[in-house]
Structure 1
């Protein structure tokens, strides 16, 4: 029989919390102060090496994020799977925006977006167009992945995001 821990540090205590999110958001704060007890503000900066070519105007090779709270947004998809792809992509970004706003954040807090596509070649130009409506400079680091299937039957796109608060 395992004894119950009596003196847990914050990291151990957090690891014991079940991550039940209903498929929308998981946010874990690992501290909001430095060793001197000073508040660490959330900040993000684009990193643009001269030797790394940008794939599009809304692409940042990297984001340097400073902040004490991270918001991990689980994969989001569109509300209407029968809509045209532009509408589906817009709805997916709107779902992420809703999660951000619920957490007290906005697109300016997003440091990473991962996007998954069943038909990458067809959907990427539409994705690049629509994301310009939502993302703000410095644009978050991003990865687009072509895949053969997603978890929800009929789903052709799924985006996840990470933000600093």
Structure 2
């Protein structure tokens, strides 16, 4: 049995997919970025006239993406401590990984899920980070 979950607190998906799917006691989150609900604004991002990234603050984006993950987990009947696996997509590994890694460590002092971090050429919206998460549901 699969249950699709749409959070009323997290930013709207940018395509035809749910925020998460529950299968048994596992919760699979769709890719989560740092956008704010009800807005196309992205914390820490300045766009040029063409809609391209002119500058960005990876620290602000990290905090925003972690908050969005937390909102989806809570809407799905799970919680931050139930995260078991995280895939991180960064658009600039060399520049952003040290900052991301420091912030990540501050969020995962007790529970430390498995993690994979990869660099990608681009993400679907003008963001520098996206997370793909798996958690358990109590």
* TM-score (norm. length: structure 1): 0.59
Corresponding residue number in structure 2 for 1:120: 93
CA-based RMSD: 2.2
- Which of 13, 24, 28 aligns to 2:22? It is 28
Gaps of 5+ in 1: 1-9, 31-68
1: CA distance, partners of 2:109 / 2:78 = 13
TM-score by length of 2: 0.70
Gaps of 5+ in 2: 7-11, 36-41, 47-55
Structure 1 position 74 matched with structure 2 position 30: yes
**Contact 1:107/1:136 (<8 A) preserved:** no
CA distance in 1, matches of 2:109, 2:72: 17
Residue 132 of structure 1: how far off its partner (Å): 2.2
3-state secondary structure, aligned to 1:151:
coil
- The within-5 A match list for 1:4-153 is 14=2, 23=13, 25-30=19-24, 69-79=25-35, 80=42, 81-82=45-46, 84-152=57-125
CA–CA distance in structure 2, aligned partners of residues 20 and 70 of structure 1: 13
Q: Does 1:162 align with 2:118?
A: no
Residue 113 and residue 26 in structure 1: after superposition, are their counterparts in 2 closer, same or farther (change >3 A)?
Answer: same
